[in-house]
Amino acid sequence: MPELSLLTDRFSLTGRRALVTGASRGLGRAIAEALAQFGADVALVDREDSAEPAAAVRAAGHRAWQFTADLSVREELQRLIEQVDRDVGGIDILVNNAGIIRRAPAVDYPVADWDLVLRTNLDAVFLLCQHFGRRMVQRGRGKIINIASLLAFSGGINIPAYTASKSAVAGLTRAFANEWTGRGVQVNAIAPGYFDTENTRPLRENPGRQAEISARIPAGRWGDPRDLAGPVVFLASAASDYVSGHILVVDGGWMAR
């Protein structure tokens, strides 16, 4: 069936080079491994050691590069950009996954936490999109996937900086898409629901909040990081060439309830 073969070929990432931030664990690790399974070479960025996910990328038969950087520090971010340009070369797929969360009531929210969250979750996304997106536009081809959140659509509780940052990431995604889609670069975002990750551990360890959240998820479970594999591969591949400026919710049906 040549038609089916042609369709599956559009999901291939063979020959593509991807950059994934926050790649040492959780959603980022699952994303990096999924991209490799579909053929991409992957540059992994994290504040922590990413040896295990890099090994998984190599086990899939592809190149892996490891970079360590605190994306909240502007000087480290610039150093990272220079290292990637030197060691990896052109990036075809950028996945801005790295993010942090700090919890406190809005009336008492520390300004230092606000600054840290916004620098990590928003400023770094803008600067990485700008740098690597500029080169994608010059080549006339590229994919950018930003990781937003359900909280791009709602306010959350005790996380004003995180909510503000993820709402802004959704807006940036649309803004870049408006400028770059016609020049061959598709910019989209994924808004994960409640996933079993380190960021949600305080919620899962709170019996009341865990039960409250679980009761609203039609799928009957919290997300596993591997649930992002399909959506990420789709948005990274030629299969999504006519999709841009979209915020893809992956939430087990939460938003539908």
Q: Which one of 109, 162, 194, 242 is the catalytic residue?
A: 162
Q: How far apart are CA 47 and CA 122, in angstroms?
A: 17
* Dist. CA 58–CA 47, nearest whole Å: 20
Q: CA torsion angle for 226, 169, 46, 85 (degrees, to 10)?
A: 110
Which residues face 44 on adjacent strands?
20, 66
| Location of structure tokens 């609203």 | 216
Task: Show the 3-state SS of 111-130.
Answer: HHHHHHHHHHHHHHHHHHHH
Catalytic site includes residue 162: yes
3-class DSSP assignment, residue 48: coil
Q: Is the dihedral of CA 115, 116, 122, 125 positive or negative?
A: positive
Distances in whole angstroms, Cα of residue 28 to Cα of each of 1, 25, 40, 88, 233: 35, 6, 15, 19, 13
Closest listed residue to residue 37, CA positions, set 234, 229, 190: 229
**Which residues are known catalytic residues?**
162
